[in-house]
Amino acid sequence: MNSIKIIFSRFKGYLKDYIPQFCIAVLGMIMAAIGTAGSAYLIKDVLDEIFISKNESLLYILPYIVVAVFFLKALGTYLQQYFTAYIGHDMVRRFRFMLLENLLRLDLSFFNRLRTGELISRNTNDIDRIRNVVSSMIPDFAREIITAICLLAVVIYQSPKLAFFALVVFPAAIYPLSLLAKKIKKYSHQSQAKIGDMTSALSEIFTNIEIIKANNAADKELERFKSHNERFFHLNIKAERTSTLVNPLMETLGAVGIAIVIIIGGSEVISGTLSVGGFFSFTTALFMLYTPIKRISYLYNKMQDAVAATERTFELLNQSPNIIGGNLEFPRSLLSISFNDVRFGYDENEILKGVSFKANSDEIIGIVGTSGGGKTTIINLLMRFYDANNGQILINQSEISDFELQSLRQNIGIVTQRIYIFNDTIAANVAYGAKEIDENRVINALKVANAWDFVENMEGGVHAMLDEFGANLSGGQRQRIAIARALYNEPRILIFDEATSALDFESERIITDVIERIRSGRIIFVIAHRQSSIKNATKILVLGGGKVVGFDSKEALLQNCEAFKKLSHIE
Ligand SMILES: Nc1ncnc2c1ncn2[C@@H]1O[C@H](COP(=O)(O)OP(=O)(O)O)[C@@H](O)[C@H]1O
Ligand SMILES: [Mg+2]
Segment 222-257, tens digit of pLDDT: 998 898 889 889 888 887 887 787 778 777 877 877
Q: What is the mean pLDDT of residues 287-313?
A: 82
Instruction: Classify residue 486 as exposed, middle or buried by CB count within 10 Å of its CB (0-12, 13-18, 19+).
Output: buried
- Please check whether residue 325 lies inside any domain of the structure: no
Res 571 pLDDT > 60 = no
pLDDT tens digit sequence for 312-333:
888 888 989 999 989 999 998 9
The answer to whether residues 469 and 418 touch, using CB atoms and an 8 Å cutoff, is: no
Q: What is the pLDDT of residue 207?
A: 82
- Please check whether residue 239 lies inside any domain of the structure: yes
| Domain limit, last residue, from 256, 283, 317 | 317
Res 1 pLDDT > 70 = no
pLDDT tens digit sequence for 120-137:
888 888 888 878 877 778
pLDDT tens digit sequence for 13-41:
887 899 999 899 999 999 999 999 999 89
- Identify residues whose C-beta is under 5 A from ligand 2, the ion: 376
Q: What is the mean pLDDT of residues 95-102?
A: 90
Three-state secondary-structure class, residue 352:
strand
Q: What is the pLDDT of residue 305?
A: 74
Same domain, 350 and 303: no
Residues 6+ apart with CB under 8 A from 500: 479, 507, 508, 511, 512, 528, 530, 533
Q: What is the pLDDT of residue 308?
A: 81
Ligand 1 close to Cβ of residue 112 (< 6 A): yes
pLDDT tens digit sequence for 367-412:
999 889 999 999 999 999 999 999 999 999 999 999 999 999 999 9
- Please check whether residue 323 lies inside any domain of the structure: no
Res 265 pLDDT > 70 = yes
- Please check whether residue 356 lies inside any domain of the structure: yes
Ligand 1 close to Cβ of residue 337 (< 6 A): no
Looking at per-residue confidence, does 563 or 570 come out higher?
563
Q: What is the pLDDT of residue 503?
A: 79
| Domain limit, last residue, from 258, 285, 317 | 317
Ligand 1 close to Cβ of residue 374 (< 6 A): yes
| Domain limit, last residue, from 317, 349, 373 | 317
Ligand 1 close to Cβ of residue 38 (< 6 A): no
The answer to whether residues 142 and 87 touch, using CB atoms and an 8 Å cutoff, is: no
Quote the ligand 2 centre to 370 CA distance (angstroms): 10
Same domain, 265 and 143: yes
Looking at per-residue confidence, does 52 or 302 come out higher?
52
Alpha-carbon span 20 to 183, nearest angstrom: 38
CA angle 247, 252, 254 (to 5 degrees): 95
pLDDT tens digit sequence for 416-461:
888 888 888 999 999 988 888 999 999 999 999 989 999 999 888 8
Same domain, 298 and 430: no
The answer to whether residues 522 and 334 touch, using CB atoms and an 8 Å cutoff, is: yes
Same domain, 363 and 505: yes
Bridge pairing between strands 390-395 and 336-344: antiparallel
Q: What is the pLDDT of residue 65?
A: 92
What's the pLDDT band for 171 if we cut at 50, 70, 90?
A: low
- Please check whether residue 327 lies inside any domain of the structure: no
Ligand 1 close to Cβ of residue 384 (< 6 A): no
Q: What is the pLDDT of residue 570?
A: 61
- The number of domains in the chain is 2
Same domain, 293 and 355: no
- Please check whether residue 326 lies inside any domain of the structure: no
The mean pLDDT of the chain is 87
Quote the ligand 2 centre to 518 CA distance (angstroms): 23
The answer to whether residues 79 and 293 touch, using CB atoms and an 8 Å cutoff, is: no
Quote the ligand 1 centre to 377 CA distance (angstroms): 6
Alpha-carbon span 135 to 141, nearest angstrom: 11
Same domain, 306 and 345: no
Alpha-carbon span 457 to 455, nearest angstrom: 5
Q: What is the mean pLDDT of residues 178-187?
A: 74
Ligand 1 close to Cβ of residue 348 (< 6 A): no
DSSP single-letter state for residue 48: I
Sheet of 539-544: strand order equals 412-416, 493-497, 523-527, 364-369, 539-544, 547-552
Q: Among 115, 349, 377, which is best to mutate for testing ligand 1, by the most ligand atoms less than 8 A from CB?
A: 377
Looking at per-residue confidence, does 74 or 159 come out higher?
74
Alpha-carbon span 505 to 510, nearest angstrom: 9
Quote the ligand 1 centre to 211 CA distance (angstroms): 21
Q: Nearest residue CA, atom 11 of ligand 1? A: 372
Q: What is the pLDDT of residue 174?
A: 60
Same domain, 346 and 229: no
Ligand 1 close to Cβ of residue 376 (< 6 A): yes
Quote the ligand 2 centre to 374 CA distance (angstroms): 7
Quote the ligand 2 centre to 515 CA distance (angstroms): 19
Residues 6+ apart with CB under 8 A from 459: none
pTM: 0.72
- Please check whether residue 329 lies inside any domain of the structure: no
Q: Among 349, 351, 416, which is best to mutate for testing ligand 1, by the most ligand atoms less than 8 A from CB?
A: 351
Relative to the alpha carbon of 372, which ligand is closest? 1
Same domain, 302 and 368: no
Q: What is the pLDDT of residue 201?
A: 84
pLDDT tens digit sequence for 461-510:
899 988 876 677 888 888 889 999 999 989 999 999 998 887 788 888 88
Ligand 1 close to Cβ of residue 370 (< 6 A): no
Same domain, 358 and 487: yes
Same domain, 35 and 86: yes
Three-state secondary-structure class, residue 495:
strand
Q: Nearest residue CA, atom 10 of ligand 1? A: 346
- pLDDT winner (highest mean) among 9-13, 221-225, 548-552: 548-552
- Look at residues 478, 470, 519, 516 and name the one whose alpha carbon lies nearest to residue 499: 478
Q: Nearest residue CA, atom 13 of ligand 1? A: 372
Q: What is the mean pLDDT of residues 165-183?
A: 69
Q: Residue 262 is part of a domain; what is its CATH number?
A: 1.20.1560.10
Relative to the alpha carbon of 414, which ligand is closest? 2
Alpha-carbon span 526 to 512, nearest angstrom: 10
Q: What is the pLDDT of residue 170?
A: 58
Ligand 1 close to Cβ of residue 567 (< 6 A): no
Instruction: Determine what percent of the chain is predicted with pLDDT higher than 70.
Output: 97
Q: Nearest residue CA, atom 26 of ligand 1? A: 372
The answer to whether residues 395 and 425 touch, using CB atoms and an 8 Å cutoff, is: no
Ligand 1 close to Cβ of residue 336 (< 6 A): no
Ligand 1 close to Cβ of residue 351 (< 6 A): yes
Instruction: Determine what percent of the chain is predicted with pLDDT higher than 90.
Output: 33
Quote the ligand 2 centre to 506 CA distance (angstroms): 23
Same domain, 56 and 194: yes
Q: Residue 347 is part of a domain; what is its CATH number?
A: 3.40.50.300
Q: Which atom of ligand 1 lies nearest, measured to the CA of 375? A: 21
Ligand 1 close to Cβ of residue 373 (< 6 A): yes
Ligand 1 close to Cβ of residue 299 (< 6 A): no
Quote the ligand 2 centre to 525 CA distance (angstroms): 13
Cross-strand partners of 543: 369, 548
Q: What is the pLDDT of residue 350?
A: 94
- Please check whether residue 418 lies inside any domain of the structure: yes
Q: The domain containing residue 456 runs over which residues? A: 336-570
Q: How far is CA 327 from CA 324, 365, 399, 405, in A?
A: 10, 28, 12, 9
Q: What is the pLDDT of residue 403?
A: 95
Same domain, 312 and 341: no
